[in-house]
Amino acid sequence: MTITDTLTQLGTHVQTPASPETAVLETVPYDRIGGPPAIVRFTCPEFTSLCPVTGQPDFAHIVIDYAPDKLLVESKSLKLFMVSFRNHGAFHEDCTVMIGRRVVAATKPLWLRIAGYWYPRGGIPIDVFWQTGKPPEGVWLPETGVAPYRGRG
């Protein structure tokens, strides 16, 4: 059975963090069995942040794939972390990489990749990709499922 005694957000009412810097990513233990590692995917199709120059909202479809080692990111804490970007001003590249690095810092996975598919502003979509290195041997990596921009449909 997974020990959840240390979780402070799951099962309770929690205010949205004021910023990504103050958001807490919680983890739970994970017992990895033999064979190729599992790939865990989180998809956030309605991610929002703010343009740091204009303050206008930016929208993205974020896909996180990671191969956990000893820790899983607890999904409610991840949701709260992602929502905390709604009032955060940063460029697309900074937001995408910051998310990836925070998940890596919290979980210390065998491997992680993140894809940020940003919707156009000024007519140009920006897609941002980051990963920690080569995927582990023998894992099955699905496509991210998000097509290059053609109306994203």
The reply to whether 75 sits in an annotated binding site is yes
The reply to whether 46 sits in an annotated binding site is no
Catalytic residue among 5, 31, 44, 58: 58
The verdict on whether 58 is a catalytic residue reads yes
* Those residues with Cβ within 8 angstroms of residue 59's Cβ, 6 or more apart along the chain or in another chain: 46, 47, 48, 118, 119
The verdict on whether 5 is a catalytic residue reads no
Furthest CA-CA distance within the chain: 50
* Those residues with Cβ within 8 angstroms of residue 70's Cβ, 6 or more apart along the chain or in another chain: 29, 30, 32, 108
The reply to whether 74 sits in an annotated binding site is yes
How many Cβ atoms are within 10 Å of 132's Cβ, its own excluded?
17
The reply to whether 93 sits in an annotated binding site is yes
Catalytic residue among 5, 31, 44, 51: 51
Binding region: 73-75, 92-93
Residues forming the active site: 51, 58
Binding region for substrate: 73-75, 92-93
